[in-house]
Structure 1
Amino acid sequence: MTAPTLEPEPMTAPTSPPAPAAPPAPPAPPAPPVITADGAYAARLALDGGSWFPERWTLDSPEPYAVPLPGHQPEEPGTEVLPMADGRVLIHRIVDGRHAFALLYPTGPETGEIPLGAVECGASRLTLLPPSPAAGHAYALAVGAGSTALWLVAGGAFGPEHVAEIPGHCSGGVWLDGEGRMLALDRESGGRVKTVAVDLERGGEVSPLLQIADESDDRLLLADPDSGLLLIRSDAPGHDRLGWGVLGGTRPVRFPECLRLPDLAVTPFAIQPGQTLMPESCAVALRIDGAAGSWLGLWRPAERRLHQLAAPEGWLAGSGWWTREGALRLPYVTEAVPCGVAELEPPAPAAPPAAVAARPVPLQQAPLNGRAGVG
C-alpha cells in the first residue's frame, strides 16, 4: 500500500484587507445671514439635503420667520444673496461667465424673480458689498488686474451701472453714514493696505481715511455713523491687533490690551447705534473663535475688560445686530427652531463715559492721523 500523494495547493497572491470606508463628510455649517442696515430683514443661502436655496428672514415681526425662495434648480454653493429694505432678496449668480443679478420675492408657493441684468468683467472677481443704508440700492466690487470697479447692481435706471474705477485692489466695504453716500474700502497698493473713503455722490472720489503708519497694514472692520466709532485691525503696534478710533477725532487709534487674546481669533461684528457723540459708550459685539468653537465677546471702549459669554445654541456665528435700546440680537437655527433670534442684554457700563464733542469734519476729509496708542 502506497502512501497517498499530496497535491500542492496553488499559490495565490496575498489579499489585502478591504480599505475602511471613508467617513461621511460632515454637513456644511449653516451659512450666517446677511442683515439689512435697519435690522428688518436677513438673507442667507440655506441647505436642504444636498440642495442650496435662498432664504429670507423677517426680523422686525413679533416672531421672526423664514421664507424659502427656491428657484427652478438648486443654487451653486458660492451664490451670493443680499436682503433689500423692502423684503426682496438680491441674488448674484455666475451664468456663462457673466455675473447675473435678480431680485427674488415670494409669490404664494412659488418664487418670483425680476432679472436686473449682468456684468461682464472677464476674469475679475466680483463680490457684493454689505447692504447699503440707501433703500433699494446694492453695490458690488469687481477686482481687476490693477484697479477695482465699483458697480451699482440694484437701484439703477437701466440695470447695473459702473460707478467708479479705483486704482489698486479693494476689499472689505463699510458704510460711513446713514444715507449710503460714503463707503470705506480697504485698498492694497504698493504692497500696503490702507482704508480709503469713496464719495458716491462725487463720481467715486477717493480720499485717505485710515493711515496709522507708513509701513503698516490698516483695515477698517466696522463703523457706527451715529457716534463715529471705528473698529480697526492693524499691525502698526508691531503685530496684528484690534483697535478703535473716532471718525473726525483728534486722538490716535488705541489698541486695548483686553482685545488681545493669544491663540484666539477675535472679530467684531456689530456696534450699538444711537450713541450720538458718545463713541466710548457704544457696546461692541465680537466673535471669538478657538479650538473649543465660537463664543461671544462684549466690550465698550470706555472699559478695560472684555466680557466673554457662551453663544446661544445654533448661533449663526458672526451674525447679529444691536437695537438702539442696547439689546444684542443673535440669529440661530436648531432642529426645533428653523428661524430664531436670541436677545442678550450687555453688562451695564462701569461708569458713565464723558461725551466726546469733536468738531464736525466732512467724512471725505477725516483721516485718522497720529501715532498708534495702546489703551
Structure 2
Amino acid sequence: MTACAIEPSAGHGNDGTPRAGCAITADGAYAARLAGRGEARYPERWTLDGPEPYAVPLPGNQPEEADTEVQPMGDGRVLIHRRAAGRHVFTLLYPTGPGTGELPLGAVECPDGGTRLKLLPPAPGGERAYAVAVGPRSTDVWLVAGGDFGPEHLAEVPGRCSGGVWLDRTARLLALDREVGGRTKTVVVDLERGGEVSPLLQIAAGSDDRLLLADPESGLLVIRSDAPSPGEGQLGWGVLGSTLPVRFPECLRLPDCAVTPFAIQPGQTLTPERCAVALRVEGALGRWVGVWRPAERQVHHLPAPDGWLAGAGLWTAQGVLRLPYATAETPCGVAALTPPPLVEAAPGPEPREPLAEQPASEPPPPAAPRPVPLQQAPLGRRVTN
C-alpha cells in the first residue's frame, strides 16, 4: 500500500501472502500492531473513530517476540497471542493508570512441532476472536476470546488450511483455503452447525483456488486462481449466489509486481460491480496502492503515505480509503485517499492480451478452463447477501 514506506516488512503468512502492518476491527473503530523494533517490541492500540487517531502503548513486563500476534477487540482491549514451549497463550491487554492490565484467557496446547496456530482476521461484532491450528492432516478452529471458559475448540477440518475470510456479519460462516491431494480449494465452515464443511470455490478440477476477500453486503468475492493459466495465480472476482462465472480481468495482471487485495468498499448492497477494492502493489520501485472496481477495466495507481503500515486499511461507504501510517514526526496517523470516480466500461467482451504468433504447422494453444459458476457450490445457493 505504500510507495515510500519506512516501516519494515511485516513478513508473509502461511499461504505466502504478505501480512498487514496492523489489524483493524471490522467496524474500523480500533487497530492494533506490534510497535518498536528489534528486541524492544510492544503492543500498541490505535483509536480510529474519534476526531483524531491516537495510539496507546501497552507494554508488558518484558519485550515481545517478533512473531507475537495482536488483534484489537470491539471494546478497545487488545488480544495478544504469545508462544511458549509448545503452548499458545492468549491474554487481553488494556491500559490501566501508567501501566498495562492483563486478563489471562488460557492457552492452547500444540505439542506437535508440525502444528502452527495463528489468529484469524478480526471477526464481525468485535466480541470474539478466533484462531486456526494447522496440523499435518487437519486444521482445528478455536474460539480464543469471548467464550465462557477460555479457549474453546469449535471444529476440526480435514486437510491443511490457510487464509480465513468471514462471509457474514455474525461470525458464523468462515471460508478457509483447504489443501487436499496437492490442490487448494476454498471451503466454508459453519461454526453454528458443529463445523459443517461445504465447498465454495471449485473452479476447475486441477486448479488452486483461494478466496482473498469477501463483502457480505454486496456478495463480492475476490479470489486468486491458476485456472486461466495453470501454475500462474491470477486475481479474479465473482458474486456469492450469482449465476455468472468467475471473471479474471486482464487489468489485474501487473507484470513484475506482487498484487494483494486487502479491503473492499462496504455499503454497496446489490451492486458488487461498483465496490472499490484496495490493492497492495509491490514492485521494483517499492510499494503503492492500487484501486480497482469490477465495473471498470483499469487499475488506478495511487501513492501511499510515508510510513504506511503496509497492507492495512479500510474503506468508508462513501469511497474514501483510510490508510494507517507511522513516522517519526507522526507516530499515529491515518491518510485519506479518494480514487477517481467510477467510469463504467462500455459493454462488450473483456479485452485480452494478444496471443504470441504460432507457426502455421502448430495448432493454437488450448482454451483456458471455463470457471465454474459460484452458485454450483452448496453455500452459493444458501447465502445470497
TM-score (norm 2): 0.84
Distance in 1 between residues matched to 2:252 and 2:141, nearest whole Å: 33
Distance in 1 between residues matched to 2:326 and 2:77, nearest whole Å: 21
1:364/1:41 CA distance change after superposition, 3 Å? farther
Aligned-pair CA distance for 1:134: 3.3
Larger radius of gyration: 1
For structure 2, which runs of at least 5 residues remain unmatched after alignment? Answer: 1-5, 11-19, 348-374
Q: Which amino acid aligns with 2:208?
A: D
1:114/1:347 CA distance change after superposition, 3 Å? same
Report the aligned-residue RMSD. Answer: 2.1
Distance in 2 between residues matched to 1:136 and 1:189, nearest whole Å: 32
What residue is the counterpart of 1:8 in the other structure?
A: none
Aligned-pair CA distance for 1:352: 9.6
What residue is the counterpart of 2:57 in the other structure?
A: 68
SS in 2 for 1:366: helix
SS in 1 for 2:63: coil
What residue is the counterpart of 2:271 in the other structure?
A: 278
1:97-128 Cα deviation digits (max 9, x unpaired) = 21100000000210000000000022211000
1:28/1:280 CA distance change after superposition, 3 Å? closer
For structure 1, which runs of at least 5 residues remain unmatched after alignment? Answer: 1-25, 355-360, 369-375
**In 1, are the aligned partners of 2:199 and 2:377 still within 8 Å (CA)?**
no
Q: Which amino acid aligns with 1:90?
A: L
Distance in 1 between residues matched to 2:168 and 2:9, nearest whole Å: 33
1:64-94 Cα deviation digits (max 9, x unpaired) = 0000000000011100001101100000011
**In 2, are the aligned partners of 1:302 and 1:353 still within 8 Å (CA)?**
no
Aligned match for 1:139, one of 130, 151, 171: 130
1:252-285 Cα deviation digits (max 9, x unpaired) = 0000000001111111110000100100000111
Count of residues paired in the alignment: 337
SS in 2 for 1:258: helix
Alignment of 1:1-375 (within 5 A): 28-29=8-9, 32-47=21-36, 50-122=39-111, 123=113, 124-238=115-229, 239-351=232-344, 365-366=379-380
Q: Percent identity?
A: 70
1:218/1:338 CA distance change after superposition, 3 Å? same
SS in 2 for 1:201: coil
**In 2, are the aligned partners of 1:209 and 1:367 still within 8 Å (CA)?**
no
SS in 1 for 2:175: strand
1:77/1:289 CA distance change after superposition, 3 Å? same
**In 2, are the aligned partners of 1:273 and 1:324 still within 8 Å (CA)?**
yes
**In 1, are the aligned partners of 2:175 and 2:189 still within 8 Å (CA)?**
yes
- Identify which of structures 1 and 2 has the higher relative contact order when contacts are C-alpha pairs closer than 8 Å and 6+ apart: 2
**In 1, are the aligned partners of 2:260 and 2:280 still within 8 Å (CA)?**
yes
SS in 2 for 1:164: strand
Q: Which amino acid aligns with 1:140?
A: A
